[in-house]
Structure 1
Amino acid sequence: MIRNCFIQYQHDLESVPLSEEDYIRMTAEITEILRTDDASDVFEIVNDVVYEYLSQ
């Protein structure tokens, strides 16, 4: 899902700017949000986390 979000933001599979550490960090952040707010939509959370990453 994370990779697909980057593709929506005009990246292709070769240009997704994430290292393995970035994937782990983003996955942990998404998991923590879901753990604390189980009513949240996974798709929305993933999009929010990816957008935040790109806007840094």
Structure 2
Amino acid sequence: MDEKWLKKLIRNCFVQYGHDMECLPLNDLEWKQLCEKILLEKTNHKDMDMYEIVHDVIYEYITK
């Protein structure tokens, strides 16, 4: 999967939840962890839409 596309989905999701990436900067490790978690969820739930998975993972990240 294209990493740039996935990062764009993640950024857009943060914006939809009212977060600006400047206010919530992610370091390289956090980006990697989010991408890995999203890809793992997609592997485990092949029938789920990628957008739904991204929203679920980002919501969990924001609310933890």
Query: Normalising TM by the smaller chain, what interval?
Result: 0.7 to 0.9
TM-score with structure 2 setting the length: 0.77
Higher relative contact order, chain-length normalized (CA < 8 Å, sep 6+): 1
**Structure with the largest fraction of helix:** 2
Number of equivalent positions: 56
User: Runs (4+) of structure 1 moved beyond 4 Å?
Assistant: none
Superposed CA RMSD:
1.2
Structure 1 portions without partners, runs of 5+: none
Structure 2 portions without partners, runs of 5+: 1-8
Candidates 10, 13, 24, aligned match of 2:18:
10
- Percent identity of the aligned residues? 39
TM-score with structure 1 setting the length: 0.87
